[in-house]
Amino acid sequence: MDQVFVLWHVQELDEGTDDEKLIGVYRSEADAKAAIERVRDKPGFAILPDGFQICPYELNRDNWIEGFMITVD
């Protein structure tokens, strides 16, 4: 297996930021789609059914290599 499928639910907030929920990591895209069907009618998900995202993720690979900036308010 060279990749897994990561299932997220993403909601855009009023402040221009996203609220992201990691639902799970699955062996196949079909398994991730089955998970959507299992949670689709749960509170929150039911009113935002278009928020699901399935992202293929390659194993044994660095996926965030740019670093990041810290801001202090």
4-16: pLDDT as tens digits: 999 999 988 777 7
Show the tokens assigned to 35: 């998970």
Alpha-carbon span 17 to 35, nearest angstrom: 25
pLDDT in tens, 36-45: 999 999 998 9
Secondary structure of the chain: what % helix, strand, coil (to 5)? 20, 35, 45
Full residue range of the structural domain in which residue 45 is found: 3-58
Total count of domains within the chain: 1
Is the residue at 70 inside a domain?
Answer: no
Number of other CB atoms surrounding residue 52 within 10 Å:
19
* Residue 63: φ, ψ to 5°: -105, -15
Spatial strand order in the sheet of 18-26: 18-26, 3-12, 52-58
Is the residue at 66 inside a domain?
Answer: no
Is the residue at 68 inside a domain?
Answer: no
pTM of structure = 0.80
